Every structure is written in C-alpha cells, then in structure tokens.
Structure 1
Amino acid sequence: MRARDVLGEGGLLEAAIEGYERRPSQLRMAELVERALDHDGVALIEAGTGTGKTLAYLVPAALSSRRRVIISTGTRTLQDQLVEHDVPRLERALGRPISITVLKGLPNYLCLRRYGELTHSADSLTKPDIARMLPIVREWKERTETGDRAELVDLPEDAAIWTAIQSGSDTRIGRACRHYDDCFVTKARRRADEAHLVVVNHHLFFADLALRAHGGGVLPDHDAVIFDEAHQIEDVATAFFGVQLSSQRIDVLLRDAERAFASVGALDEESQRLLRVVVLRADDLWAALPRTTGPEGGRNPLPESALSSKVRDALFALDVALEALAEHARGRIVMGEVMAHTARRAEQVRTAIGTIAEPSHSHVTWTQQRGRSVSLGASPVDVSSLFRDEVLHRLKSIVFASATLATGRAATNALEPAPTSIVVPDGDVPAPATPAPSTPFAFTKQRLGIDFEVDEEVLPSPFDYAQQAALYLPDLPDPRDPAFLSLAAAELDALIALTGGGAFVLCTSVRVMSELARRLRPALAARRVVTMTQGDAPKNVLLDRFRVAGDAVLFATQSFWEGVDVPGRALRLVVIDKLPFEVPSDPLVEARCQRIEEQGGSPFMEYLVPSAALALKQGFGRLIRTKRDRGVVALLDARVRKKGYGKVLLRSLPDARRCHSFAEVEDFWRGQQDLLALLRKS
C-alpha cells in the first residue's frame, strides 16, 4: 500500500471520514516523505499552514516496513495531537492498529531512586514546600503506570519537589540501579523497543545523542527520523552540542550527592566537608563573574579577555573541589553504583568547566542570569559540521518539515541596499546588495550542514489569504523613536475596538509587552474586554482562558509566536510590535555574524534577515488556522515599508491583502463581517 492509496482520490481516509477534504499539497508531501524513507534520502519540505503535514508524514511512516522511524516534534502538544487525534483517525482508515508510542523528555518522568532518597532525607521534613507536596506525589506514585508528570494535575507547575525527583540524563544510573526494572523510563524505553514509530521531541532526540556519546541512550536503535517544526533544530542542537554550568546544576548535584552518601551510610564528616567546599568554591565563581549588562534574562558575552585571573582561579578552584568529591565517591564504589554515578556526574561538570575555561575559536562563552539562577556556558558558533557528523551521516533517511523553513523565495531578485551594522540591524549605513540564494532552502541547508543534493519543495497552503486576511502596515515612527510606544498603543487600541478583541499582541521584549499592556488596560477594561499578560498563568492555562473568552486580548512575547493554535473567531487580530531580529548583543548572534563577516559575507543579509523572515512567518501563522478563519495581522514596525530589506521580509509572508491606512483595514473588516452575515443567513 502506498501513501496515495490512503490520502489520494478514492483513498482510505476519504472513505472512512465523512467530509474528508483531499489536499494536493498534503499528498505531494506524503510522496516526498515516502521517497525519502524508501530510498535512504533526505527531504526538506515547507508545508504551509493547513496543508495537513502531520498526516502527510504519519501515513508514509506508518506504511513503511523497512525501518523504525523516529518522529521528533517541537512541542509536547504536538506529540499529544499525534497520538490522541491523528493516529486514531488513521487506524480507523487502515482498519488496523499502528505500532506507535510516545517518549517524552526524561525530566517528565518520576525517578524512583531520587524519590526514595528524598523521602528519607531531612528535606522531606524541614522544607515546607516539599513536605506539603510529598503526600500528593506519594499517592500518585502508588497508582501511576507511566510516571508521567502530566498526570500530576494537582501539583503546581513550579513545584520545587519535582526538580528533586525527576529523571534526567545526568541522574540515570542504568542497569545497576535497584529500581531499573520498575523504572518508568525503562518501561517507556521497552515500549519504544517494540514500536514501529516512536514520537519524541527535539530535546529528547538530542539528549539521546549526548547519552550515546557516553555509551548510553534512551531511544531504540533507528535509522530514520522525521523532524516536525524543523526550523527549531539549529537552536536545540546548539544547546546540546555546547556546555552549560549553572548554579541550579551545582545545587542539584550536591543535593543528590548528599542523599546518595546518606543512602549508603557514608555521609560522614569527610563527605560533608567536601560537599561544603564545593558550595564555597561555586559561590566564589558566581561572585567573580561580571555583572550582567544585556537584556533581562538574556545571555551576556564573556570573551577570553573577560576571563580574568579571578574568574579563571574560581573555575579551577571549583574543578579541584569537584575532583576531590569524585575521588571520595569512587573510594566508596563498593557501597553501590550510586557512588560511581555521583563520581561520573562530578566529572561531567569538570568537563564543562574545562571547555569554558579554555575557550576555542569554535565556541563562544557567555553568562546568563534569570531570577536567582546564574549560568556560565560555551556554545558552538556553527553547528553545521557537528549536525552533519552526528545526524546526517549517521541516519539513512531524514525528513525536515515545517510551515517556515524556506527563505529564498523572499529574495529572488537583486536586493536593495541594506544596513551593514550587526550591532543595530535597523541602522542606516548602506551596503552592497547580497546575491539571492540558489534555492529557497539555502539558509536552512547552510545552517544544518546539508551540502549535498536533497529533495526540497515549498508546498502552498490551501488557504486563500488574499480573501481571508489583511496585512496592515501603518506609518509609525521608528521603534527607537520615543514617540513610538504612545502611537503604537493608540493604533492598537483602534484595532482592538474595530475587531472587538480576539487579539494576540506579540512583542519582541518583555519591556514593550508590559508597557503596552499597562497603557491599554484601562481603556480595554472600560469596554469590558478581558486582558491577559504572559506570566499571569501557565501558557496552556492562558490559551484555554483566551479560547473560552472569545473576545480577549493577550499580551505576550515570542514564546507565543509559534506552537500556538487558536482556530476560529477567538483569534481574529494579531499585532506584532517590531521586526523580530535576533538580539544583536547576544554573544552567539554576535559571534555568528562575525564569522560570516570574516568569510567575506554580509551578516545582515545572510543571517539576521533570513532568521527574522522565519520568525515573522511564524508570528503571521498564528492568525489563519482553518478555511473559515478571517482576520488582520498588523505589523507596527514601519521599517518594513521604508528599508530595502523590508521587501525581502514582506515577500516571505503569505499573499494577504495589504493595507497601508486604517481606513483600508476598516474596509476589509466590514467586508468580512458582511460576508459572514450573508453566510449565516444562507
């Protein structure tokens, strides 16, 4: 049986599902996936919103009998959609079950060993937040079959107890653990060993690569992978191919080490002294780091020149303290594998210290502070060769799929002059035009090290954007102008009044999000419009409230730019405050721009503009989710109209009706309301 027999005219899905709509783009994508799986190929596919890409790759994967297929998604939400919605539909059509299972990231599972150590520790009695939640976890532990944290609905999302009992790549002991046979991760892995299709997320896929490098691994053996939401791959790969040392990581290591020593009766005076020394040396390191100067919560550069003797001395002192702790644990290996594991974890931190203390040209070193947590890390500037070696050359069949993967279509003609400054990408210094990329996927291929022939195709969305959506480009001041915020707030207020709410206000910074919400909230409250701000509640809770309200306004940052699905009338206005350029002061962005410049390229046109184009397409994509949806996307950043690179960004967006005045938006909106009224009457 072939994909066409299921998705094509007269196919099984058409026969099994009343009202099923055949989609040419969906069938074409399925055939591309089928070819990659059948012939050990690589495919890059941009499938526009509404294509039905989930079934387009699920059908050929389920029909493929040659190999086990890993489906790697961007979010847990998409994992759940696959197994709870798409798989049952396909099973009904095929008339047989599909051998499929879901593996979530290790921190989603309860670790029985760490749970046991916690219950016998002083923390279970002396720390109120843990003592209060322990009965809830204990009752759930006795009845759960999966150990999946998602089942713990009564446990607050930020409950401190979960970090003390969750599994993780650095907490797994393996077969030597006395809980191995009952371990929830072990059971999930056994289900995966028996499944034909295994659904994971990107973080787990790369965590598995990291474990395999040390002889471990969570995923079953496989030689085919389908990456959904593949535009996220470079960022996830960068995190896993780099190293990070954080105050939280040290705290968790020491807490687990103390409980491990206690569990084997080895928490003597010497053990406690060594643990205290590590605490002191870690505190010295955090105190020696330069104060953060970048955006709140963002990374700050720590170039080699900033690795002062004070910082280096603190790093080496922490390394010596961890070495002593590791040797002490190894001397007690006879007491159990838990001691050997404690030593290995200390050595892993020492490896991270070595990479950070001796920076190379291929890595950029940085610091970051979020709340009370301090981090120090080293990230690869370019992951293309690493990704090529670890993924492209290891697997036989690979599919990259996303609604936003191609950028070249936006630059088919010679470009107008663009700014050269990589510090302020919206500057006014002209630069020579950059040649158009050779394929629509040139940017993605370069970032992932795909330097060979592959199947690549941009598949159009079935939506009629020209009829369903308007793109409003008001003539506002430059976002750096002091007058921008007040004028943007007035424009936003008028748009919300026109649509009656149902709006996402997507901002590129927390500062702007908070300021726009502050300015608009009184007027919206007077009109009885429900307002929400990211951070008021967990993301999924906010989305549920937004859908139920129907006419709400949600102020959010870039975490709501993708992976958010609100079909129907509840979302009919998307406002984007500013072009989503990467933060130029981010050390990784700065290093990548510098690398391109050293190679004779244009960092702005070759990296910053394509990255912004992909992000802008994601933000626009929140609006139209079905053929019935209607609405407006407003981009308040007038640089998209006035700068040469703006045409590149606009050509990357769907062909919605362009509006340059509020009167044109009103005309579009009233026409849509008249049309909907006629449809309701008919």
Structure 2
Amino acid sequence: MLTTKIQNSIRTSYQNLQDQLDNFVPRRAQNYLVAEIAKTLCGQYHKSNRMIVAEAGTGIGKSLAYLMATIPVAVLNNRKIVISTATVALQEQLVNKDLPLYRRLTDREFSFILAKGRQRYCCTEKLAAACGVDGGQMAMFESKPKKKDIEQLQTMYRSLTQGKWDGDRDSWPKPIDNMIWQMIVSDKHSCNNSMPTHRDCPFQKARSELDKADVIIANHSLVMADADLGGGVILPEPENSIYIFDEAHHLPHVARDHSSAAASLKGAASWLERLNQSITKLSGLADEKRVHRFRNELQDSVQQLIPTLTQMSKQFDASHFEDGLYRFEHGDLPEWLESESKDLKQLTQKASQAVAKIADLIAERVKDGELSAKLAEPALAEIGFYIQRTENLAQVWRLMAEPKREKGAPLARWLELSKESEGDFVVNVSPLEVGWKLDQQIWSRCVGAVLVSATMRALNSFSFFCHQSGISQKAEDGVQFLALASPFDYQNQAELVVPAMKYEPQAPQFTEYLIEILPKVIEDNKANLILFSSYWQMNQVAEALATDFVKKSWALQVQGDTSRTEILKKHKKLIDQGKTSVLFGTGSFSEGLDLPGELLENLVITKIPFGVPTSPVERAHSEYIESRGGNPFMQITVPEASKKLIQSVGRLLRKERDSGKVTILDRRIVTKRYGKSLLDSLPPFKRTIKY
C-alpha cells in the first residue's frame, strides 16, 4: 500500500532536488515515472505481481526517478534493493553521482554498496604465500619470478595488512598483470568462510558488508550467477528483494549466455588425466574412513571418461564442418551420440559430486584443527580448479543428454574445431529462449521488479522484449508498461533526412556509391558521426576517402585505430578549435556513446542495422521459427534492427538544447513494406524524404 509515509518521503526528496540543483527544470515524465514505480511496488495494480517495464528516453532522469520511488518503499518495508546494470559506466554513475545525490535529498537513512564477483578480490593467504611470507613462494610461480613482480606483491601485501588497500583489483592504483592476479585471486574452495585463516579475506569482508547494505549495485551477469546458484547466495534472497534492472534490454542475452555451456573432448581428457594422477594425493588429506568411497567413485568415473571422450573425438569428421562448425539441425543428435551423451551425463555428474565431496572433507579437517591450513591450502586451490572443470563438463553433458522437449524451443547444439588444439572438438549447447528461466528464478520469486532502458520497445511494441524476458502482457497479470518520450522539441531541434539513393545496400556497387556520396553529406566545421554495419565496409570507405579528407582539412578518426577514449578526446579538441571532425564507427558506437551539444550535430547511418543469423544459436532460432510456420526475418531480424536503429538515432540528441541532423542512406526504409514500421518507431523529427 502507498502509505502517507512513503508519499511524504518521495515528496520531500523531490522538493529538496529543486532546492539543491541550480537551473532545475521539473520534468513531467520523471514525476510520472516516480509515481508509477511507487504505485506498482506498493501493490496498487496487482497484489503479488509488482512489476513495471518502462522505456524512458534520454534526458528524463530515470536513475534518479527509480531511486526516489524505490528506496522509501524498500526501507519502510525492510526490503533490500538490487540495482543491476549492463555496463561499468552506469555502475560508476550510480555509486559516485546518483546515490550520493539522492542521499542528500532524502529523509530516509540507507546504505549502498557495489557488489563484485569473487574474481575481483585477492586472497590474503595466497598473497602472503606469493610474497614468501611463509616460505611457500617459489611453488606458486611456474618459472623463476622477476624481482619487480616480487616487489609489487610485497607492496600489495603491506598495503592490505596495513588497511590501506581493500584487496579489490579495481581499487589498486595501477593495473595488475593477469599472470600475477591469477596467483592471488580468491577462489571459492580454498578461500571460504569455514576456514579460520580466510575469515578476514577481502572477499569475505566485502560479502559481510553486502549483507548489511540496503541497496546493492550489481551487474546482470552477477544477478544471473546468483540465480543459477538458487538465489540468495551471492546477493540477497529474491523473496526479500526489489530488483531494478537498468539497461534492461541486455538482460535476455546475458541470461542466455549464463545458460550455455561448452567443453572440449581431448582437452577434457587431458586435464582428467592430471586429476586421475592427483586423486590419491588429494584424498590423502581427508579422513580415510570417510573419503575412500568418494575416492573410488572419482577414480572409477574418471577412468571411464578419459577413453570415452578420446574415442568420441575420433568419431567426428572435420571435412563435414562449415567454417569450423557443425550444427545439429533442430538440436537433434544422431542415435549413437544421444546414447553416449546419457552415459557421459551420469559419469560427469558422479565425478563432479565426488571431487566436491573430497574438498569438503579436507576443509572439515582444517576447521576441526586436525590438518594445518598451510598443508591444505595448495591442495584446496588445486581441487578447486578440478571442481570448476568437472561442474562445467557435467553441465555440458546434462544439456546434451536432455530429451527433446514437447513444448517450447529446442536447445541449440553444435561442434566447433578447437582453436587451442589441433584435432580436438568443442561441444557447445545453448538454450534458444530463456524467458521461462527469468520468470522461474526471478519474476515469480521477487518482492517487485523495475525494468528500465532507453530502448525497450521494437517497432513501437514491448512484445519482442517481453517474449525474450518471460514477462506476461496479459492484463490480469498486472505488469505495468510505460513508454516515456525524451523532453526534446523534436520538430524544431532535429531533422531526419532520407536522400534518394541509386542502390540498395546489398548491391555490389553500394560501397563505391558510399565513397561518392559521403563527402556530400558531411558538414564542414561540425562534428560528424558516420555509422557502418561492417568493419570491412567502414575500412574500405575510410581508405578511399582519406586523401580527399586531408585536402579538405577534415580530421578523420576510424574506430579501432586507437582506443575509444583517445578518439573522443581528440574529437572534442578538434570541435573546440572549430574544425571538422569525422568519426567512422560500427555497432558499438551506436550504443553508449555520449556526445552532447556541439560534439555531435550530424549523424549519418549508412545502412539499416540488420543482423545476419551467423551464430549457431541465431541460426537454430531461425530454424525453430520456420519449423512452426513463422518468418524469422519479420519475427527476429526486423525487431532487432528496430532497436539498434533507435539506439543509433539516439546518439544525436543527448541534452535538452541539442540539435542536429540524421541522414539514413538506406532506401529500404522507404521502399520496403517493413520500412514504415521502422520509420514510425523513430523519434518524431522533422522529416525530409526525397522519394
């Protein structure tokens, strides 16, 4: 229920915002978003399904809106908030800017913390060993360590023990080399809370701080990792949490990646051989009476797995592969592989459970004071490596052995030629659709959920996103949907131009035609961004126009020539000097690139960003839709292109006073039947269509 206390708290923070910010302009869309989120989370629309999906354009102030609405609801109901983002940049904005600002505005006490995965923290014991504190240093280095590496490790250890560093890789003042970091990184088996020497490890300290915080900032990947562990393991339990997914349009892809698995055949046989040689040594540290059963199970399964995987690698013929890939159509396996997969599922599961049990028994002896931590730690670090490998192998064969589904999309299954080892094959499995999983693990369990992004809709509809994310659009399920336009005067601030083009992008002459036409659409003494759909075409055009641009005194920078940071720094300098700056970029420049004011006044999109279903998962998804009488181009390709096009066009206006022009050099947006839908989903700029 939206109580008076919650309403007053929201009102107070909004009033304080007006007082704190100079030139504050009240935004109707922001007010509306705050109100709708608060009403949804208080059960005004649906008693149990408290969920809102909101597309909020640039300039609305969505992050401050969801903080103002959600924190009072959570604090007054003793709930936790998990804010999940897709990018580090947004996490930094929330931690360094938005949350400290909101804290000054509100009358509610709350704490917040940034949650990171275990791999971002060092282990105190490993760091001590690597420094030679206990004489165990040399064993940790594969080759003789360099003096500078030892000195760096010793400096880090001193800083950690003196409380000057928190053990977080990101907070160390200089980059830490990967080889050094892998020696000291926290791992879940040797660095766990049940071991007395590890209770003060950086990761354990960070976790205990996490338990105390009211607001936790994470990323989509960490949320999915926690969900896969059953929820409430890394982050608070879903049953006590309100989730805010910002940049929510990335969530379905992250969820799918988390549900996928891959393992090689000969490569797996190789590390299983090493495990086989270490079983007696490792299990010797556990209590003999209790460990012998698991040692026997592990030896038995590993000794069957090694020849089975080696033999299987001889069954596949690389000459049947296309571009290093062999895809099983409709996810169907040949009978022999189906049968082998079932056997491998049982063997890998048995091995995975046995190796984890041996680790538990060793840790128990340390905890009970029967075994020294110094002796156990190298063994637990080694066994931790094998636990991760066997868990992954078991996941691959569990999915390979999964029977054909009566309903819903099949699994995509394919083989790849190994890039690491000649003559080896990598077995890959991935789900096509993960909406049911998000519903099962998060939506059906959480207190409430807020999903926001600047580009949630495709072709003016939430349907595509909802299908991908497992969100119901039935009225009786009570999910709220909002689409809030940016506070721009589109008609007077920007123009969308579609010039008459001789060729469509598929035409062989199109690249040459681009080389001819681009200089005519670039604006002198202004900031220009030209977006391409392929690196190849971008580089061809850049090479052809480089000399002409130099003659015109136009500064050309091409994505990939140097870092994005360097490109943008030089771009700003050129514009400040009143010169012409031209940026050439591809897909990644169409999202997350912030060029306000004079830093972008002329945007040119060379082609509608249609994706080609080249990955095995995309091809399998298209195949599945076709098998059900659908049209993958209209059901997947066009909606995805619509989202990407909206993101690309969204680069132009970033602040309320920005202005400029967008030119689309793809006539299909006018001549094809799907073109009108794509055009209609773009902001209502003044339009000049020369057809």
Range of TM-score over shorter length: 0.7 to 0.9
Partner of 2:155: 139
Q: SS where residue 126 of structure 1 aligns?
A: coil
Q: Deviations over 1:620-678 (max 9, x none)?
A: 112211012222323222221211101111111111222346xx9xxxxxxxxxxxxxx
Aligned counterpart in structure 1 of residue 442 of structure 2, from 391, 408, 413 = 391
Alignment of 1:478 with 2:520, yes or no, is no
Alignment of 1:578 with 2:613, yes or no, is no
Partner of 2:27: 23
What's the offset of the Cα at 1:182?
A: 2.6
Q: Deviations over 1:50-72 (max 9, x none)?
A: 11111110111222222211111
Distance in 2, matches of 1:246 and 1:178, equals 37
Q: SS where residue 440 of structure 2 aligns?
A: helix
Q: SS where residue 467 of structure 1 aligns?
A: helix
Letter in 2 for 1:57: Y
Contact 1:326 1:343 in 2 (8 A): no
Alignment of 1:494 with 2:520, yes or no, is yes
Partner of 2:42: 38
Letter in 1 for 2:174: D
Partner of 2:59: 50
What's the offset of the Cα at 1:531?
A: 3.9
What's the offset of the Cα at 1:177?
A: 4.5
Alignment of 1:607 with 2:636, yes or no, is yes
Q: SS where residue 598 of structure 2 aligns?
A: coil
Aligned residue pairs, count = 622
What's the offset of the Cα at 1:300?
A: 7.2
What's the offset of the Cα at 1:546?
A: 4.1
Partner of 1:241: 259
Partner of 1:619: 648
Partner of 1:154: 174
Aligned counterpart in structure 2 of residue 587 of structure 1, from 604, 616, 637 = 616
Q: SS where residue 584 of structure 1 aligns?
A: coil
What's the offset of the Cα at 1:209?
A: 0.8
Change (3 A) 1:380 1:9: closer
Structure-to-structure mapping, 1:324-473, within 5 angstroms = 335-336=362-363, 338=380, 341-355=384-398, 357-358=400-401, 360-361=404-405, 362-366=410-414, 376-409=427-460, 440-451=461-472, 452-473=477-498
What's the offset of the Cα at 1:249?
A: 10
Aligned counterpart in structure 2 of residue 99 of structure 1, from 111, 114, 117 = 111
Contact 2:265 2:312 in 1 (8 A): no
Distance in 1, matches of 2:401 and 2:483, equals 43
Change (3 A) 1:332 1:193: closer
Change (3 A) 1:336 1:499: farther
Q: SS where residue 229 of structure 2 aligns?
A: helix
What's the offset of the Cα at 1:138?
A: 5.0
Partner of 2:375: none
Gaps of 5+ in 1: 410-439, 665-682
Q: SS where residue 212 of structure 1 aligns?
A: coil
Letter in 2 for 1:378: V
Partner of 2:245: 227
Aligned counterpart in structure 1 of residue 222 of structure 2, from 200, 204, 222 = 204
Structure-to-structure mapping, 1:615-654, within 5 angstroms = 615-654=644-683
Alignment of 1:658 with 2:687, yes or no, is yes
What's the offset of the Cα at 1:579?
A: 1.9
What's the offset of the Cα at 1:123?
A: 6.7
Partner of 1:75: 87
Q: SS where residue 649 of structure 1 aligns?
A: helix
Structure-to-structure mapping, 1:473-552, within 5 angstroms = 473-474=498-499, 475-496=501-522, 498-500=523-525, 502-540=527-565, 542-550=567-575, 552=581
Change (3 A) 1:146 1:371: farther
Q: SS where residue 218 of structure 2 aligns?
A: strand
**In percent, how many aligned pairs have the same letter?**
27
Letter in 2 for 1:352: Q
Structure-to-structure mapping, 1:103-142, within 5 angstroms = 103-112=115-124, 120=137, 124=141, 126=143, 135-136=151-152, 139-140=155-156, 142=158
What's the offset of the Cα at 1:538?
A: 4.7
TM-score of the two chains, using structure 2 as the length reference: 0.76
Distance in 2, matches of 1:279 and 1:546, equals 56
What's the offset of the Cα at 1:614?
A: 1.2
Q: SS where residue 658 of structure 1 aligns?
A: strand
What's the offset of the Cα at 1:401?
A: 0.9
What's the offset of the Cα at 1:205?
A: 0.8
Distance in 2, matches of 1:640 and 1:219, equals 47
Q: Deviations over 1:461-489 (max 9, x none)?
A: 10122222222323252222121112223
What's the offset of the Cα at 1:572?
A: 2.6
Letter in 1 for 2:91: Q
Q: SS where residue 635 of structure 2 aligns?
A: helix
What's the offset of the Cα at 1:31?
A: 0.9
What's the offset of the Cα at 1:552?
A: 4.1
Change (3 A) 1:282 1:380: same
Letter in 1 for 2:33: M
Distance in 2, matches of 1:641 and 1:647, equals 7
Give 1 or 2 for the bigger CA radius of gyration. 2
Letter in 1 for 2:447: K
TM-score of the two chains, using structure 1 as the length reference: 0.77
Distance in 2, matches of 1:46 and 1:216, equals 31
Change (3 A) 1:198 1:329: closer
Partner of 2:292: none
Letter in 2 for 1:31: A
What's the offset of the Cα at 1:231?
A: 1.0
Change (3 A) 1:232 1:367: farther
Change (3 A) 1:139 1:233: same
Moved more, 241-250 or 400-409: 241-250
Q: SS where residue 182 of structure 1 aligns?
A: coil
Contact 1:7 1:13 in 2 (8 A): no
Contact 1:356 1:377 in 2 (8 A): no
Contact 1:406 1:444 in 2 (8 A): yes
What's the offset of the Cα at 1:202?
A: 0.8
Contact 1:223 1:394 in 2 (8 A): no
Change (3 A) 1:33 1:310: closer
Q: SS where residue 176 of structure 1 aligns?
A: coil
Distance in 2, matches of 1:632 and 1:381, equals 38
CA-atom RMSD in angstroms = 4.5
What's the offset of the Cα at 1:324?
A: 6.8
Distance in 2, matches of 1:505 and 1:56, equals 33
Distance in 2, matches of 1:256 and 1:116, equals 27
Distance in 1, matches of 2:307 and 2:551, equals 54
Contact 1:319 1:350 in 2 (8 A): no
Letter in 1 for 2:114: V
Distance in 2, matches of 1:405 and 1:355, equals 34
Distance in 2, matches of 1:290 and 1:387, equals 37
Distance in 1, matches of 2:628 and 2:302, equals 47
Change (3 A) 1:131 1:289: farther
Change (3 A) 1:580 1:10: closer
Q: SS where residue 574 of structure 1 aligns?
A: strand
Partner of 2:70: 61
